[in-house]
Amino acid sequence: MSRASHESSMSDGLPRLRLPPLLLSLALLIGGSRFDALRPVEGRVIALVLPVIAVLSGVGPFRETLPALRNAAFLVGAVVLVLTELGAYGVVFNDQSVALPMSELLILGVCVLGALLCEVAAAQRGLRTRITAWIALAVVFACYFPGHAAEKNLFGSVFAAFLVSLFVGGGGGLFLGEFAVRKARA
């Protein structure tokens, strides 16, 4: 095999067009923290928008691939988005700070595995994605935020959930996806 097939494709795996919305949400999160009046509203908005950005960034590259692979990636994204938004909705609108039920956690875990399989299948067809990292980011947000949200400090709860999901979910998913793709190529 050539050297190019063994090299990490980090530069083409995280498209430049997908990172700005996530960084913009982080900038809004940090920038809005300067204004006490905006904190509750901003916390609510970011709690609902962050999972959408993550899931759409993950499944976006699959729009122009084989129908079976596209449908599998979109199914994983749809399930993660629905479960993540239900948890965030419960916190934001119903003031329910309860952890997700075990059945939903199991479904989200299966979705991360599905994202990993989609990433490996896409890589075997020449499409580099980071769907595992994006989906894992949304899954960790879904697992962490509803159980740790403080009604009186929703902004702080969203910020903490964002950081945990970014480093644990995004970082872990990035490592897991890269490892699986390299093993599949070997």
Give the other-Cβ count within 10 Å of 30's Cβ.
Answer: 11
Higher pLDDT residue, 32 or 11?
32
* Residues 146/86, Cβ–Cβ less than 8 Å: no
Residues 51-78, mean pLDDT to the nearest whole number: 92
Q: What average pLDDT does the structure give for the chain?
A: 83
pTM across the whole model:
0.82
How would residue 2 be classed by pLDDT, with cut points 50, 70 and 90?
A: very low
Contacts 24+ apart (CB under 8 A), 23-28: 25/49, 25/50, 25/53, 25/162, 26/162
Q: pLDDT value at position 81?
A: 95
How would residue 74 be classed by pLDDT, with cut points 50, 70 and 90?
A: very high
Q: pLDDT value at position 113?
A: 96
- In this predicted structure, the answer to whether residue 95 has a pLDDT above a threshold of 50 is yes
pLDDT digits (tens, 9 = 90+) for 111-125: 999 999 999 999 999
Q: pLDDT value at position 29?
A: 67
Q: DSSP per residue over 26-44, as a string?
A: HHHHHHHTT-TTTHHHHHH
Point out the least confidently predicted range of 5-9, 70-74, 135-139, 166-170: 5-9
Determine what percent of the chain is predicted with pLDDT higher than 70. Answer: 86
Alpha helices in 35-153 (DSSP H): 39-59, 67-94, 102-124, 131-148
